[in-house]
Amino acid sequence: MSLENIISVQGKSGLFEIVSKSKLNILIKDLETGKKITISTQTNVILISNITVFTDNEEDIKIQQIFVSIYNKEKEGDIVSYKDEASTLFEYFSHVLPTFDRKRVYHSDLKKIFRWYEILKSNNIIEELVENSLKPESLEE
């Protein structure tokens, strides 16, 4: 499973995998509960692979790179939860992405990023991202 089929659905918490699509509906699976539900194709959804985080310089960073950085920080023994206080999340994130734009990245954004990270990690998707980030092709991007 890759991030290409993982979405966030407006009005629902968590992350979902696209199972199948029809002209009118999308069958999705909740990555936390495993339950499948149908949503309308008119529902606002965001592909996780399209999300970027604002930085102080011109280049925004893809969320995949952030997940890999969080994974590497965890390997050093530093772990944070989306339930932690705002100051803790901002401090931790400043080590993950030192150039993030503190004026445009909010506490709610960080909570979402860390919650998504935990969901993806529990579904073994983070390890796949880390493996793919080490391949020579991805280093050329």
pLDDT tens digit string along 18-46?
Answer: 999 999 999 999 999 999 999 999 999 99
d(CA 114, CA 20): 27
- pLDDT category, 88, cuts 50, 70, 90? very high
Higher local confidence (pLDDT), 132 or 23: 23
Tokens at 8, concatenated: 């966030």
Task: Report the pLDDT value the prediction gives residue 69, as an integer from 0 to 100.
Answer: 94
**Which run of H or of E encompasses 135?**
none
* Average pLDDT over every residue of 51-57: 95
Least confident of 43-57, 65-79, 121-135: 121-135
- pLDDT category, 135, cuts 50, 70, 90? low
State which of 60-64, 78-82, 136-140 shows the largest mean pLDDT: 60-64
- The residue behind tokens 């944070």 is 80
Mean pLDDT estimate for the chain: 91
Residue 1 has pLDDT above 80, yes or no: no
* Average pLDDT over every residue of 81-103: 95
Of 9, 11, 17, whose CA–CA distance to 125 is shortest?
17
Q: Where are the beta strands (DSSP E) in 45-102?
A: 45-47, 52-53, 61-62
User: Three-state DSSP class for 42?
Assistant: coil
